[in-house]
Amino acid sequence: MMVIINGRVIGPRSILEQHCVIIEGGKIKQIAPTSQVLWPEDARVIDAQGGFVAPGFVDLHVHGALGHDTMEGSVEVLAQIAKFHIAGGTTAMTPATVTDSREKITAALDAIGRAVGHNFGGAQILGAHIEGPYLSTQKCGAQPAAFVRAPDPTEYMPWLEREGAVTQMTLAPELPGALELIDALLEREIIPSGGHTVANSEQTRAAIDRGLCQATHLFNAMSAATKVGAFRMPGALETFLADDRVMVELVADGKHVHPELLRLAVRAKGADRICLVTDATAGAGLADGSEFNVGVARGVVRDGVGMKTDGSALVGSVATMIQLVRNMVELAGVTLVDAVRMASMNPARALGLSGHKGGLEPQRDADIVVFSPSFVLEKTVIGGRVEYERPVESQ
């Protein structure tokens, strides 16, 4: 048994002061005022020292860390990425692939599939987010245009038919065959997510009507309102903002999306339809000026974000989840409860895992983060095991 005492426990709608969380068998057993609970002498007691105790963060979009990239197609590399991100409070993730050849994407999915359900002492790997190759060549960002292509069932069916290995796919809804791809994804309970797209409003809405229910890194790499003849017409961005059926990813690293736009997203989508995602690349955890790969693209860490080496575009972030939570509070003005919800319950719900993850309630997995009032990550607990503790020398 483990007990986390003296915490300010972040619930779905409020903060429970001076509460403790009791953990048994990898699950949350009870949440109660610290003064009202007795625990056995042999229980491990963790003193949160007045810090926040929150559900573990679930990152739906992460490419890498520490110079390593999911496209290396290696379980060992995935384990290193998963270990790095526990220091940012991530307890579960869906690693993202990028546009590449069929063979490279297949190899990356093989590795992610093998990593699902394994305990590396890092964030749990829940499945793959296939980002590309079915994207717009005009909005491919750091993804290599030479490999971008239209959906081809003979290519994607073998990817989708890996039982439980794929959880999301990002696609451009305007491509020929995109609606049939959405059907194929939904049949296998894989989330179709719109992104890297130049779709107009009609094309976006048609995809949403067909079942597209998520938007990949809202604001980044998607069409926005533009003047057509005498009239201003919405793009994919405004359609995603306006439609309640769509959950949106938000790279709230303070660089990808301007604080004013973060506030706009909160106003439009509310606290229940935003998932904070890092979109972290191999540059995460590297020093400023370090170069790294994202698939075949080359990036450099510059001013706290990944850039193309020529500075022409962003190449994912170098953020961790706790930084995104902090930014939503400090830059976007949302409450801590809501910011945590966007990092935990919402992504868990998107994945259909809200019965197990995303909240501190009895019977849910004991995936828990403890952080100070100044957003310093103190501890990350996964399945009832303390997998990260802030190093003593920096305390």
Pairing mode of beta strands 226-228, 166-171? unpaired
What is the enclosing helix (H) or strand (E) of 301? strand 297-302
Q: Which of 59, 100, 243, 279 is catalytic?
A: 279
Residue (of 222, 313, 321) closest to 214 by Cα position: 222
Eight-class DSSP state of 123? P
146 vs 40, 109, 198, 314, 374, CA distance in Å?
62, 21, 17, 18, 44
- Residue where the block lists tokens 């953990």: 23
**Cβ atoms 87, 118 nearer than 8 A:** no
Pairing mode of beta strands 57-62, 377-382? unpaired
Could you tell me if residue 164 is left (phi over 0), alpha (psi between -120 and 50 degrees) or otherwise beta? Answer: left
* Interatomic CA distance for residues 341 and 352, integer angstroms: 15
Whether 110 is catalytic: no
Token code pair at residue 380:
């990350």
* Interatomic CA distance for residues 89 and 87, integer angstroms: 6
**Cβ atoms 157, 166 nearer than 8 A:** no
At 126, which amino acid appears?
L
* Interatomic CA distance for residues 359 and 361, integer angstroms: 6
Residue (of 371, 367, 316, 293) closest to 90 by Cα position: 367
**Cβ atoms 20, 34 nearer than 8 A:** yes
**Cβ atoms 367, 91 nearer than 8 A:** yes
Largest CA distance in the chain: 75
* Interatomic CA distance for residues 54 and 370, integer angstroms: 6
Token code pair at residue 104:
């490279």
* Interatomic CA distance for residues 54 and 306, integer angstroms: 28
Known catalytic residues are 279
